[in-house]
Amino acid sequence: MSAPWLDDAVFYQIYSQSFRDTDGDGIGDFQGIVEKLDYVYDLGFNAIWINPCFESPFRDAGYDVSDYLRCASRYGTNDDLKRLMAEVHARGMHVLLDLVPGHTSIDHPWFKASMRADANEFTDRYIWTDSVWKPPAGMASLTGISQRDGSCAVNFFSHQPALNYGFYQVSESWQQPTDAPGPQSTIAAIEDVMRFWLTAGCDGFRVDMAGSLVKADSDSLGTIAVWQQVRAFLNEEFPQAAMVSEWGEPAKSLEAGFDMDFVLQFGPSHYLDLFRVDEPFFSSRGRGDASAFVKTYLESRRSVDGRGLICVPSGNHDMDRLARRLQGDELKIAFAFLLTMPGAPFVYYGDEIGMRYVGGIFSVEGGYDRCCSRTPMQWNGEKNAGFSTADAGDLYLPIDPEGDRPTVEGQLVDSDSLLNTVRALTEVRHAHPALQARGDIEFLSEGYPLVYVRAEVGANRAERLLVAINPADAERSFPCDLVPGACVYALNGTMRRDGSSIVVPAQSASVCLL
């Protein structure tokens, strides 16, 4: 059973370096998050996920950790983070920190110790072959970098050596099974990291590359077993702590003990069909196709049999901005979908105002094309859009240069804005148990319109709601015996019965009682 506080959680993802800079160095910081917590809360978000904020050389924007137990000075101190978490809790909100368990930076003391030729506590903390002339087959590696004779596997970038959780199928003398002392000491070390921050005040973790730990593990059985071991530790010491996985295969991640898995841009989900293909389903052109997404989504729900949650996010720091292919009412209708689906929604900072994918940016901290979705938050019409008082050339990334760039200030006073649409949708979600994380879902139509019934779970199943979404620029209908009752939310009109069908207006979204 997942953490109870997730039942009505609506998350806001904060990319710290791009959110709000309060000391004028051009990089966002913890105090900037504190200053904007009321904004996040007032929009209806009651939980936040903060991207990695630990000590790092920042060759991969903090996903190359050099000290798991110390905050990066550019954001603030450990005490500053503790104060931030206390401010979150004072508002009745929760906070997830980003845990990177699969690899570290080459600058981490663990890795420096593991490079020594003499055997020591960290010799088996990483995956090393037994000869510099023998790199690990099928894996990228660091070779010829140390006194130690061997090559070290890396997970992605060459500066991210892979931590050793063992091999599910051992085929070489240098490979270790998951129950060997080396992999078990790695698990214990990551548990110590989790214990440290949970004791300090965080409510759980979003876990980076959660499915990648054990190698030679084609069915993920070894990795599942590792996370079940971690989950047992949490259940004993921190039973309210939540774990959300970047895995993309709910049947595996939820069996592994995660509370929730993201539907992502990779994997079998067909998530991209909705928002990020040439003809996305939520385009007003009405040429998209959501059927493959619905099929795989329902298959995933059946496979987990009520265990844990599945989340459909607006995006994240690794994806194109939602507004790259959707504009205007298309974005509003996309949010009507995101905020009426089961699981706990995650909204990437700036998506609530339609921030754009800003092309033509040189790579910063290993972002490459991802930098175009990581530009500073646009708060107002002042210098640097209110993000920072620094000179423009000193900003972490450049601000959207367009004169009509959306801002929080501009959208707060516009009752018809995307921001106020998101606020109205979170309010409806919080008010109706059927729309929350554990509510049931039954799809009645998978095309235009997209129609589903959300139902409150439990013995009474007291509340049932009909959701009808039509992104297309023409009215659509579908045969249905149900009779919509009072409308609790409507965007651009509400569904209506016409004989044996329900008609859904063009570019509309509505939610009615049943």
Average pLDDT over residues 357-369: 96
The answer to whether residues 189 and 230 touch, using CB atoms and an 8 Å cutoff, is no
Q: Is 169 inside any structural domain?
A: no
pLDDT at residue 461 in the model: 67
Domain assignment of residue 435, yes or no: no
Whether residues 326 and 450 fall in one domain: no
> Dihedral angle at the C-alpha atoms of 68, 74, 80, 81, nearest 10 degrees?
-40
DSSP 213: S
Q: Answer whether residue 64 shows pLDDT above 90.
A: yes
Q: Which of 214, 212, 111 has the alpha carbon at shortest distance from 159? A: 111
pLDDT of residue 487: 97
Query: Which residue, of 410, 429, 448, is where some domain finishes?
Result: 429
User: What is the residue-averaged pLDDT of the chain?
Assistant: 96
Element (H, E) at 196: helix 181-200
Q: What CATH number has the domain bearing residue 400?
A: 3.20.20.80
Residue span of the structural domain in which 157 resides: 103-162
Residue 2 has what pLDDT? 66
Task: Note whether residue 155 is domain-resident.
Answer: yes
- pLDDT > 70: percent of the chain: 99
Judge if 116 and 243 occupy the same domain.
no
In a domain, residue 434? The reply is no
Give 460's pLDDT tier (boundaries 50, 70, 90): low
Question: pTM above the 0.95 mark?
Answer: yes
Tell me the CATH number at 455: 2.60.40.1180
Q: Which of 351, 253, 376 is nearest to 307 (CA)?
A: 253
Measured CA to CA, the distance from residue 223 to residue 63 in angstroms comes to 20
Residue 364 and residue 224 share a domain: yes
Half-sphere exposure of 336 (CA within 13 A, CB side): 27
* pLDDT of residue 60 exceeding 70: yes
In a domain, residue 176? The reply is no
Is there a domain that residue 172 lies in? Answer: no
Query: Quick one: 491 and 478 in the same domain?
Result: yes
Number of domains within the chain: 3
Contacts of 403 (CB under 8 A, 6+ apart): none
Supply φ then ψ for residue 20, to 5 degrees: -165, 125
pLDDT higher than threshold 60 for residue 1:
no
Q: Any idea what the Cα angle at residue 105 is, between residues 104 and 111, rounded to 5°?
A: 75
Checking if the pLDDT of 458 tops 90, the result is: no
Region for 209 from its dihedrals, namely left if φ exceeds 0, alpha if ψ lies in -120 to 50, beta otherwise: left
Q: Which pairing describes strands 67-71 and 54-55: parallel, antiparallel, or unpaired?
A: antiparallel
308 shares a domain with 407: yes
Residues 125 and 36 in one domain: no
Which of 429, 459, 487 represents a domain boundary (last residue)?
A: 429
User: 264 and 235, same structural domain?
Assistant: yes
Question: Has residue 267 got a pLDDT over 90?
Answer: no
d(CA 7, CA 245): 17
The first and second tokens of residue 208, run together, are 């980076």
pLDDT in tens, 171-210: 999 999 999 999 999 999 999 999 999 999 999 999 999 9
225 & 299 share domain: yes
Q: Rounded mean pLDDT of 374-401?
A: 98
Residue 269 pLDDT > 60:
yes
Note whether 200 and 240 are same-domain residues. Answer: yes
Residues 110 and 75 in one domain: no
- The answer on pLDDT for 272 being more than 60 is yes
Question: What pLDDT does residue 264 have?
Answer: 86
Sheet of 94-99, strands arranged across: 309-311, 260-262, 242-245, 204-207, 94-99, 47-50, 11-14, 346-348
User: Which pLDDT belongs to residue 462?
Assistant: 86
Whether residue 396 contacts residue 28, with contact meaning beta carbons closer than 8 Å, is answered with: yes
- Read off φ and ψ for residue 261, nearest 5 degrees: -125, 140
Q: Which has the closest alpha carbon to 301: 440, 452, 462, 447?
A: 440
Query: 87 and 193 share a domain?
Result: yes
Structure tokens at 175: 């490979």
DSSP string over 423-478: HHHHHHHHH-GGGSTT-EEEEEEESSSEEEEEE--SSS---EEEEEEE-SSS-EEE
Q: How far is CA 130 from CA 107, 135, 182, 292, in A?
A: 22, 9, 15, 46
173 occurs within a structural domain: no
Confidence (pLDDT) at 268: 87
Pairing relationship of beta strands 496-498 and 94-99 according to DSSP bridges: unpaired
Whether 374 and 18 have beta carbons less than 8 Å apart is answered as yes
Is residue 181 packed enough to be buried (19+ CB in 10 Å), middle (13-18) or exposed (0-12)? exposed
The answer on pLDDT for 459 being more than 70 is: no
Distant-in-sequence, close-in-space partners of 263: CB < 8 Å, separation ≥ 6: 248, 269, 271, 297, 300, 310, 311, 312, 313
Q: 3-class SS at 321?
A: coil
Confidence band, pLDDT 50/70/90 cuts, at residue 360: very high
Q: What is the pLDDT of residue 249?
A: 94
Among the candidates 382, 408, 429, a domain finishes at 429
CA distance 126 to 148: 12
pLDDT in tens, 90-146: 999 999 999 999 999 999 999 999 999 999 999 999 999 999 999 999 999 999 999
Distances (CA, A) of 140 to 58, 132, 157, 450: 20, 13, 9, 44
Does the residue 174 lie in any domain? no
Q: Residue 126 belongs to a domain with what CATH number? A: 3.90.400.10
* Residues 128 and 203 both lie in one domain: no
Contact 157, 366 (CB under 8 A): yes
